[in-house]
Every structure is written in C-alpha cells, then in structure tokens.
Amino acid sequence: MNDRRDFLKAAAAVSLVTLTSGQMAFASEGSAYTNIIYTKDNPGKWAGKEGSHAPQVTVTGSTVAIMTKHPMSSDHFIVRHTLVLEDGTFVNAMTFTPTDKPESAFDLPPGYKGKIYVTSFCNLHDFWLTEEMV
C-alpha cells in the first residue's frame, strides 16, 4: 500500500511542478511534454482514448464539476482528479477507488477569474489535462 501512496504523492508533485513551471504549451504539438501529459487535442500514444480519459469540465458559478467518462474496474480506473489555478495554486483533489464514479466538484476561490487546469489520472493511460477559462 505504501508503494501506491508514494506513487500518488509523486504524481501529484510532478503535476504541480509541471503546471507551475511557466510552460504554457503542456501537450501541444512538438512540446517537451508530448507523451507525458495528454490532452483532447494531443492524445499522443493514446489517440482514440480522449473521450474516456480527458476530464470534462463544467463551471457553474464558483463550482467546478469534473467528470471523466471512464468505466471503473479493479484493473482499469481513474485514480485522481485535481484542480489547480493558473498561478499554480492547488485548489483541491479527489482520489478514487475502482468502485467510485470518476466525478468530483470543487469550489473556486471567491471572485476567481482566469484559467484553471483540471487533471485526470488513469492507472493505465496516464495523466490527462483540460484547460478552461472561467
């Protein structure tokens, strides 16, 4: 169990460092992050998996709802959702088990306007990012 916890901690740390590094072309064509961070527009080696792995984001007022349209089983599941502001401020995260629905909702800081980064991590198909302006 410690290996999984250590892995999740490391994945979260890497994602926060990556998001705050000042690199705005995370997974754009030719980016240093190709096949490391995946997006709907740049799924890299996971082409065809975008619809079930890239997090879908809905913002209503100050609430960010995140859903990953992904089946959940003990062999293949979404591990975690994370919400980070444009300046790298960590807002919140939710870790899932294979029996959970990969859905989460987090509140933005009062009056926040700007870009948000939403991540979804699959145990088999890696780290997916969706950017949204609010």
**DSSP assignment, residue 85?**
E
Tokens of 94: 């939710």
Q: Is-contact 67 55, C-beta < 8 A?
A: yes
Q: What does the alpha-carbon distance between residue 3 and residue 85 come to, in Å, rounded to a whole number?
A: 29
Question: The domain that contains 39 carries what CATH number?
Answer: 2.60.40.730
What confidence tier does 6 reach under pLDDT thresholds 50, 70, 90? low
Q: CA neighbours within 13 Å on the CB side: how many for 83?
A: 27
Q: pLDDT tens digits for 65-120? A: 999 999 999 999 999 999 999 999 999 999 999 999 999 999 999 999 999 999 99
Q: Is-contact 25 41, C-beta < 8 A?
A: no
Q: What is the pLDDT of residue 14?
A: 52
Q: Please give the residue range of the domain that contains residue 83.
A: 2-133
Q: Is-contact 1 8, C-beta < 8 A?
A: no
Total domains, the chain: 1
Q: pLDDT tens digits for 20-50? A: 454 444 444 456 678 889 999 999 999 999 9
Tokens of 72: 């959940």
